[in-house]
Amino acid sequence: MGEFVVRGRRRLTGTVRVNGAKNAALPIMAATVLASRPVLLHDVPDLRDIRVMSQVLQALGAEVERRGSDIFVDPRTINNYVVPAELMQEMRASIFLLGPLLARLGAAEATQPGGCAIGQRPIDLHLYALEQLGARICDEDGRTVLRADGLHGNEVHFPFPSVGATENVLMAAAMAEGETRIRNAAMEPEIVDLAQFLEKLGATVRGAGTPDIRVTGNPHLGATEHTIIGDRIEAATFILAVAATGGDIVVQNCMVDHLPGLWTRLKELGVMIEELDAETVRVVSEGVFKPCPVSIATAPYPGFATDLQPQFMSFLLQVPGVHLITERVFENRLGHTIELRRLGAQIVADQRVALIYGGHPLHGTVVTAPDLRAGAALVNAALIAEGETVIRGREVIERGYENLDYRLRSLGADIVAR
């Protein structure tokens, strides 16, 4: 198991560019199955999940080639609708292949996907949505098999705005006959990026970024080039790191409008936020805060992102006062509180609610990353702790952050990977 070793209490300064968003790149890579000619994707991060998705596409018959920060996909030779079980277990995002494969080949087969253990994430909504478009679903020896003689537009009304299920039905609808209306759709920026990609292929998508999306399918989707949007979660991770440690950094390729709520909270606590343009922000912090109780509750976009909750908790450890975090998206997403307490954090938590007593010193020790975003939170906490912290589970963190140690060192952090 790899480790990050961090020596804290260093002020961060300089410029960092945010990579393309993993959570946008993965469904868009899945959507290349729909294309009739080669596709070129720009600014795709070099992460394990991206490499696994490339392997899945290759197993289905596609030609996939990484060219620097670009990925070339030629889907014309896809002839297999079975997602390999061993790859499905490595990455939850492989579930995104169900909709595109069903639309293109009339069949799709997969096992229950793997991923971070942060709570129940069943695929029921994915299957429900695809059934509304005409899929027939059955279980065969522990595998889910979907078949369709042709997909037809319909109304899909989600009981919960699931990001993954919205993306899956959006892709399937792109080749379905007629119009599909998705009600109570997820509104995340990654949904909008996928919709823009599908429009470039030739589908008609209206309302992406709202709870009501309409898709007019096109059975003859073409080819395109597309640049992946910047990773808002990665951007916020760097921003919260400098806010907690103190410093002055410029964050590039950061879509300011993609982080609603974060800016206001940081400004209220005295962190200076300067929007240099729509994709560049300057963050200046003294790393010292007046007592101020903070309360947040995670929610689907545009609410406070559950993927930012652990990193924000680490930041609150620097702010004197009693803070409340309520996790409303995943029932097991407070596991990092145990590890933060090893660093000296004063936190009382159950599965859904955490009380954070901020303003107390942290001290280096050995901790383990329980999941991707919790691991990022531990890195940020180590940056403000006295002494040396060893964070085990580097591979878990690197699922979402490319060259994290190198990029933090470029800002002045004392961190090495081993």
Q: What is the pLDDT of residues 89-134, one digit of tens each?
A: 877 778 899 999 999 999 999 886 654 444 444 688 999 999 999 9
Residue 311: per-residue pLDDT? 97
pLDDT, residue 142, reads 74
Output the known binding site for phosphoenolpyruvate.
22-23
Does residue 186 register a pLDDT over 60?
A: yes
Asked if residue 105 lies in contact with residue 78, where contact means CB atoms within 8 angstroms, the answer is yes
Binding residues for UDP-N-acetyl-alpha-D-glucosamine: 92, 121-125, 307, 329
- For the chain, give every domain's residue range: 3-19+230-417, 22-227
Q: Which helix (H) or strand (E) holds 190?
A: helix 189-201
Q: What is the pLDDT of residues 371-381, one digit of tens each?
A: 999 999 999 99
**In 10 A of CB 303, how many CB atoms?**
15
Predicted local confidence at residue 86, as pLDDT: 86
In whole angstroms, what is the distance from residue 300 CA to residue 103 CA? 28
Q: Identify the weakest region by mean pLDDT among 75-79, 120-124, 197-201, 356-360.
A: 120-124
Alpha-carbon distance of 296 to 298, in angstroms, equals 7
Task: Please determine, for residue 366, whether its predicted confidence score (pLDDT) is greater than 60.
Answer: yes
pLDDT at 241 over 70: yes
More confident residue, 265 or 139: 265
**What's 3-19+230-417's CATH class?**
alpha beta
Annotated binding site: 22-23, 92, 121-125, 307, 329
Task: Report pLDDT for 115.
Answer: 46
Q: Domain 22-227 is classified in which CATH homologous superfamily?
A: Enolpyruvate transferase domain (3.65.10.10)
DSSP letters, 224-279, are: -EEEPPB-HHHHHHHHHHHHHH-EEEEEES--GGGSTTHHHHHHHTT-EEEEEETT
**Token pair of 407, please?**
């990029």
pLDDT score of 335? 86
Q: CB–CB of 190/21 below 8 Å?
A: yes
The model's pTM is 0.95
Backbone φ and ψ of 80, nearest 5°: -125, 130
Residue 359, pLDDT score: 96
The pLDDT value given to residue 122: 65
pLDDT score at 105: 97
Strands of 114-203 (E only): list them: 136-140, 143-147, 155-157, 179-183
Indicate if 116 belongs to the active site: yes
Secondary structure class of 118 (helix, strand, coil): coil
pLDDT > 90 in the chain, percent: 88
Mean predicted confidence (pLDDT) in 277-304: 95
Q: Give the active site residue among 116, 138, 254, 292.
A: 116
Average pLDDT, the chain: 94
Are both 3-19+230-417 and 22-227 of the same fold?
A: yes
Tell me, what's the pLDDT at 331? 78
Encode pLDDT of 310-350 as tens digits: 999 999 999 999 999 999 987 778 989 999 999 999 999 98
φ/ψ of 181, rounded to 5, equals -115, 125
